[in-house]
Structure 1
């Protein structure tokens, strides 16, 4: 799994989408509902901490990091504030170079924070976005050439936005 795909999947462990499509309402939901659900998600993503008996505090810390990262992407807070509890430092790696490391005491959170930091250092973090539709906010990896993607899906959210804009323009004109 590519590093940005991990971050996208992590951000999407909460589904805030509330829109209707073809007459069916999308039901929002939380995937990390228990320490066991977190452990299952970690195992599915080959992250450290899978198979370990996790506690409610582990779940709380994980959801707090996810919420903070989503707030960064929404522009509600800055990355420094979001990562206050996740100190980063440089440590020697096996090749004799340096790598970014986090030490929160929760190895899965460290892996996620390190992935975010490394993607920011490579200039890739700006490609992780939350859909601009206020009733969506699904995280997506913007692979557009210009890096200006706004919608998780042009077929759904982009089309709904363009249709609303078109109708509003014609309502005002008529």
Structure 2
């Protein structure tokens, strides 16, 4: 869900098979946010999202994407979203966010949980400057750079090869 939330903004500008990818913003209105939340099973209760909710979602997403680019922890991105420990149904403890609507708290709790489990380090933005798609790095050593090796990685390697080849000529 974290990658899906981070990808509600699409910064991709590359061409593939002669077609230019058009970047875009998915959270453009309260209705767009409501549709996105509904599609992911995140309840927003009886009160549908409003413009401030869209702004809060975009602000959190922007902060999380900046944390990924700066290769820092998510702590700075979550600083405006208080967390506390609370007992869960199994007798253990869980992180609980108390910063806003239930859907926003769920996103914050998911991010905080991924940080606590060490999974946040595996969430990355594609290294291709014309992509920047968020993905979960499943490589063995956790050093994956591309959202898709067959697309972004291949384009990078092809550019590097051509650059070397043209430099040698």
TM over 0.5: yes
By how many angstroms is 1:77 displaced?
A: 6.1
Equivalent residue for 2:157?
Answer: 162
User: Counterpart of 1:129 in 2: which secondary structure?
Assistant: strand
Aligned in 2, Cα 1:153/1:13: closer, same or farther, shift over 3 Å? same
CA contact 1:101–1:110 (8 Å) conserved in 2: yes
Equivalent residue for 1:171?
Answer: 166
Considering only aligned residues, what root-mean-square deviation do their CA atoms show, in Å?
1.4
The partner residue of 1:138 within 111, 133, 158 is 133
Task: Kindly provide the CA deviation profile for residues 18-71 of structure 1, in whole angstroms up to 9, marking residues without a partner as x.
Answer: 011121110001111110110111111111216632110000000100111111
TM-score (norm 1): 0.92
Equivalent residues, number = 169
TM-score (norm 2): 0.95
CA contact 1:142–1:149 (8 Å) conserved in 2: yes
Aligned in 2, Cα 1:128/1:50: closer, same or farther, shift over 3 Å? farther
Aligned equivalents of 1:163, 1:150: Cα separation in 2 = 15
Correspondence 1:119-130 to 2 at 5 A: 119-130=114-125
Equivalent residue for 2:63?
Answer: 68
Matched, 1:12 2:7: yes
Correspondence 1:1-174 to 2 at 5 A: 6-49=1-44, 52-75=47-70, 78-174=73-169
Aligned in 2, Cα 1:103/1:155: closer, same or farther, shift over 3 Å? same
By how many angstroms is 1:79 displaced?
A: 2.3
CA contact 2:74–2:115 (8 Å) conserved in 1: no
Runs of 5+ consecutive residues of structure 1 not aligned to the other structure = 1-5
